[in-house]
Every structure is written in C-alpha cells, then in structure tokens.
Amino acid sequence: MGIFTTRASTALREAKGDLRIENVTKRFADFVAVDDLSLVVPRGSFFALLGPSGCGKTTTLRMVAGLEQPTAGKVLIGDTDLTGSRPYERPVNTVFQSYALFPHLTVRENVAFGPKRRGLPDALKLADEALALVEMGHLAQRKPAMMSGGQQQRVAVARALVNRPEVLLLDEPLGALDLKLRRQMQVELKRIQTEVGLTFIHVTHDQEEAMTMADTVAVMNKGQIEQMGAPAELYDLPTTTFVANFLGQANMVEAKQVGLDGDRPVYEAFGHRWWVPRHRSSVPAGEPAAYGIRPEKLRLNHERPALGGSSAAAGPGVLRDVSFTGVSTQYLVDLPGLGTWGVFERGRWIVRRRGVARSRRICCSCRGWPGW
Ligand SMILES: Nc1ncnc2c1ncn2[C@@H]1O[C@H](COP(=O)(O)OP(=O)(O)OP(=O)(O)O)[C@@H](O)[C@H]1O
Ligand SMILES: [Mg+2]
C-alpha cells in the first residue's frame, strides 16, 4: 500500500518543445509491441506514424498520452520528462477513431467540458472559438446523435484542440468515414494544424493519407521504425523492400551486383542487366539486393527498345491484364523469371492506340532513373 498525490503537476502540463521518445520498449508479457524506439518530433510539425495492423502504432501513442507506461525508455516534451506521469498531467490530447463524444451534452457543452473541468472562466468562449476553427459553430446546440460521422469527428477535434495541447495525437481519426469525406477531412486537418501550429501526430495505415498530410512520415514495422523522412523522399528512395511495398506499388526482383558501369553499380537478375545511379544503391556489393522500379516509371513497347545510356528494359513478356482506373491505365505483364510487373500509363486509349491486346508479347522499358 502506498500514499499517492492526486494533485496534477502543473509543471508537466506546461512542458513545451519537441516530443522526444527515447529508447522506448513496451512488452506485454513476453510479447514486444514496441522495440527500443527512438524518435524526435519537432514542435509544430505534422508527423505521421504509418504501418500495418499490429505494428505498435497505438501502443506508441498511448505511451505518449500516458495511457500506458513504457517497460523501458523515456517520453519527454522539450526537457520535461513525462515518463510515469498521468494522462491529465501531460500537455497531450488524443482524438480516437471512435469519437467518444458525450451523448447527453450538446456540441458546445462537449467542447467546453475540458476547459470547464480546469476551472477556466471563459470555457464557453474557448469552445466557440474551437468550433469556429473546425467550422462547426452552426451546429453548437445539437446533440452528437443528430450529426453525421464527419461532423462528429470535427467536434472531437475541437474538443481536443480547445485544451491547446502541446501535442495532439490522432489515432486513425478518419477510419470510419467514407473515402470522399476522408479526403476532405485530410485537407481540413492539415489546414487546422497550420492555423494552430501545434504538433500533430497522426496514426494511420493508409499510405496516401500519411503522405498527403504529414511533413514527416515514419514507417513502422514490428515495433520499430523502418524509415523516416519527407513523403517524397520515402517514396522515391525507400531503403528497404518493406517500405518500398508499403508506400505505393513496386515491381521488385532479387538481383546481384555484377560490376560497375563508370561509377554506377550494375545489377543482374535472370539474364537482365540494369545499372542504378550510385545514390540509389544502398546495398554494398556482394550482399543480397532487391532491384525495384515503380510501375509509373515503366512504358510498354512492342519490340525490345534500343537501349541508350539512360534506359533499361525487361522482357519480352506477356500482357496478362489491362484495367482503366480513371487516372491511368494499369497493365500486368508476366515477365519470365522476373514475375508479374505492373505498368501504369496515363490516359485511356493507350491500349487501342498502340494496338496492345491481352496475351500479346511486349517489353517494359524505362528512361531516366531506373531502380533505387
Ligand atoms: N494490452 C495489451 N496486451 C497484450 N498485447 C497487446 C496489448 N495492447 C496491444 N497489444 C499487442 O501489441 C501489438 C501492437 O498493438 P497496437 O494496438 O499498438 O497496433 P497498431 O499498430 O495500432 O495496429 P492497428 O493498425 O490494428 O490499430 C499487437 O500485436 C497487439 O496485439
Ligand atoms: Mg491502432
């Protein structure tokens, strides 16, 4: 039995600065959910944690919120160590996928709840300002049950923002919305974040969502961060096959380095030889490597194209499928030894214009920067 203080530490609530997670591990019995994870989220940035189901995203957020304590490691904001403190002591608020609004209170009362509990005299005024920010002022008198999912989600965001947390955690907040509303809310959330300038940490397993919204994306896998960077950088220069496959689609094949063309490493796979710009080849010579190329970098050809200095080709192969998605036409090509590759070409009439028909023998080619 012990004696505990019930008084919240104001010093902790007022912590300011970058969010720092230092060597944090979380074990549930002998299962490691988060494995020696370290990361710094700069103050005021929009940060996305992206990864497949079960990789430890929610567990990481819960440790930042104080809803879970790390087995080892520290969570800090600026120089203030928050490890071990209670959720209400931290300058952190969370928006969950389930909106968790109080059903018996109006929208305005829901948003004013936090400031009222902290004894702020202008709680209702603060609530109105937060509702204006998410453009929900006109529904302030409604009860949550009388609103759509998207509207409730905005209120949930207002209810978190009204506390002016140093860090706002968003755990799959758009998961329950339909695709169109989801895209709209992504833009809205980004606008709100820019307007309020708070640190947002957004958890999602939707790569498009992470890339649209975040300044920095961390790709998580099995409790660890596999790669972190600006969205374009991760897409363009993934350092592992997991990241390459998780962010968009990639045609990938095992390859080995067989020499140099000038200073460019040359890789070989099933009789094909391709060079890779030096900065795109992160694997030391002699080690197993995966050669990868994005479908939108490829073009289809009837004949094997003549290869100049900056071109590459694969094939011939057999066209297995053609589908039109609106933005592009997507082809699947069976390439002996290399597997089935995707080729995305813009526009609709490529199939007809080039006389490409299913089961036809064709070659894939690429100009510019093949591989990574
Ligand atoms: N309280 C718990 N007890 C035991 N295991 C847990 C507990 N909480 C989480 N886990 C396990 O830890 C792992 C990570 O869970 P977590 O909820 O962080 O995943 P996630 O990345 O958020 O996944 P999702 O995208 O499905 O929400 C999972 O394998 C999960 O089963
Ligand atoms: Mg989760």
pLDDT at 61: 96
Pairing of strands 328-335, 311-324: antiparallel
pLDDT surpassing 50 at residue 370:
no
Q: Which atom of ligand 1 is nearest to the CA of 223?
A: 14
Q: pLDDT by residue (tens digit) across 301-327?
A: 777 766 666 667 887 888 888 888 888
Cis before 238? omega within 30: no
Q: Which atom of ligand 1 is nearest to the CA of 31?
A: 5
pLDDT at residue 26 is higher than 50: yes
- Which residues have CB atoms below 5 A from the ion given as ligand 2? 58
With a pLDDT cut of 70, the percent of the chain lying above it is 89
Residue with the smallest CA separation from ligand 1 atom 18 is: 56
**Predicted pLDDT of residue 309:** 61
Considering 145-149, 174-178, 220-224, 266-270, the range whose residues carry the highest mean pLDDT is 220-224
- Percent above pLDDT 90 for the chain: 51
How high is the pLDDT of residue 371? 43
pLDDT at 372 over 50: no
Residue identifier of the C-alpha nearest atom 2 of ligand 1: 28
Long-range contacts made by residues 3-10, C-beta under 8 angstroms, separation at least 24?
Answer: 8/86, 8/88, 8/89, 9/85, 9/89
Of 63-72, 190-199, 355-364, the range with the lowest mean pLDDT is: 355-364
- pLDDT of amino acid 92: 96
Which protein residue has the closest C-alpha to ligand 1 atom 22?
58
The answer to whether residue 85 scores a pLDDT higher than 90 is yes
* Predicted pLDDT of residue 124: 95
Q: Is the pLDDT of residue 362 over 80?
A: no
Q: How far is the CA of 60 from the centre of ligand 1 (A)?
A: 10
The pick from 57, 94, 205, 219 for probing ligand 1's pocket by mutation, whose C-beta has the most ligand atoms within 8 angstroms, reads 57
For ligand 1, atom 25, which residue shows the shortest CA distance?
A: 53
Q: What is the distance in A from the centroid of ligand 1 to the CA of 50? A: 14
Helix axes 107-117, 149-161, angle to 10 degrees: 20
pLDDT in tens, 240-282: 999 998 998 889 999 988 888 888 888 888 888 888 888 888 7
Distance linking the first and last C-alpha atoms of the chain: 59
Atom of ligand 1 lying closest to residue 26 CA: 12
Q: Which residues line ligand 1 (CB under 6 A)?
A: 28, 31, 33, 51, 53-59, 205
Tell me: the pLDDT tens digits for 57-80?
A: 999 999 999 999 999 999 999 999
- The pLDDT of 96-106, averaged and rounded, is 89
The per-residue pLDDT for 302 is 77
Closest ligand by atom to 50 CA: 1
d(CA 70, CA 63): 6
- Coil/strand/helix, residue 358: coil
Domains of the chain: 10-236 (3.40.50.300), 249-367 (2.40.50.140)
Q: What is the mean pLDDT of the chain?
A: 87
Question: Looking at the chain, which runs of residues are DSSP E strands?
Answer: 19-28, 31-41, 46-50, 72-77, 80-81, 92-95, 167-171, 199-204, 216-221, 224-229, 251-261, 264-269, 272-275, 289-293, 299-301, 311-324, 328-335, 339-346, 361-367
Residue 363 pLDDT > 90, yes or no? no
Q: Measured in angstroms, how far is the CA atom of residue 364 from the centroid of ligand 2?
A: 39
Q: Are 241 and 226 in contact (CB under 8 A)?
A: no
Output the pLDDT for position 367.
Answer: 56
**Closest atom of ligand 1 relative to the 51 alpha carbon:** 21
Judged against a pLDDT cut of 90, whether residue 350 lies above it is answered with no
- Kind and range of the H or E run holding 132: helix 123-133
Name 212's Cβ contacts closer than 8 Å, sequence gap at least 6.
183, 186, 187, 190
> What pLDDT score does 158 carry?
93
pTM of the predicted model as reported, rounded to 2 decimal places: 0.86
Instruction: Specify the DSSP element, H or E, that contains 310.
Output: none
Distance 57 CA to ligand 2 centre (A): 6
pLDDT at 12: 80
pLDDT of residue 308: 60
